Amino acid sequence: MRIDIITVLPQMLEGAINCSILKRAQDKGLAEINLHNLRDYTDDKHNRIDDYPFGGEAGMVMQIEPIDNVISHLKSQRVYDEIIYTSPDGETFDQKMANKMSSLENIIILCGHYKGIDYRIREHFITKEISIGDYVLTGGELAAAIISDAVVRLIPGAIGDEQSALSDSFQDNLLAPPVYTRPAEYKGWKVPEILLSGHQAKIDEWKLQQSIERTKRLRPDLLED
């Protein structure tokens, strides 16, 4: 899978896409994440990418031309499955969306800023708008990092143990069960006996019950679907 991220702050994303699982997925050739600095695509001698809005509202608007330049350049090289714009107006990102996106070949993520982008970009290029939640960030970079992280880790082979992606919280609308590791007792705090029993069927049953109980208590909304 190839992800092209268009941003005015590539330094904000560099760390996120070049360490841990995302780095390993790229090293293994499972994913390729490229950052494109929008300022490299402006014809303006001061590298400006924003301007005042028509109609006189407060705040600046990202201009159409540099965004058209970079998207058209990318589209001339390959076919994109989705051109995503990160915005608080978008559809809320969730595990289902991450699952679907993990099977795509090529996507562009355009990180929004300021008051937004010239609306014509949204009308003519953007195929999907994604919000990571009902709050407003200073820009779309953190949203792009979150989307890339959640999607790339689902590509088969990206995480060592494929089973562990399948047993994530949300994968089946249930929160994950509690996990423990050695020592079995610490300062008198004990790991549940059942996990030490070696009886796999009973352990699996216990895990499912724990998942259901935690979901009812912490995220009852997930059970409504």
Q: How far is the CB of 85 from ligand ADE (least distance, A)?
A: 8
Residues contributing to the site for ligand ADE (CB under 6 A): 86-88, 112, 131-133, 135-137, 140, 143
86/211 with CB nearer ligand ADE: 86
Tell me if 8 is assigned to a ligand binding site. Answer: no
CA distances to 3, 38, 179, 206 from 82, rounded to whole Å, are 10, 19, 36, 41
Distance from C-alpha of 48 to C-alpha of 64, rounded to nearest angstrom: 12
Q: How far is the CB of 87 from ligand ADE (least distance, A)?
A: 5
SS3 186: strand
142/203 with CB nearer ligand ADE: 142
Pairing of strands 106-111, 189-190: unpaired
Q: Which residues contact 127 (CB under 8 A, 6 or more apart)?
A: 82, 83, 84
Tell me if 133 is assigned to a ligand binding site. Answer: yes
Q: How far is the CB of 133 from ligand ADE (least distance, A)?
A: 5
Residues forming the annotated binding site for S-adenosyl-L-methionine? 112, 132-137
Residues forming the annotated binding site? 112, 132-137
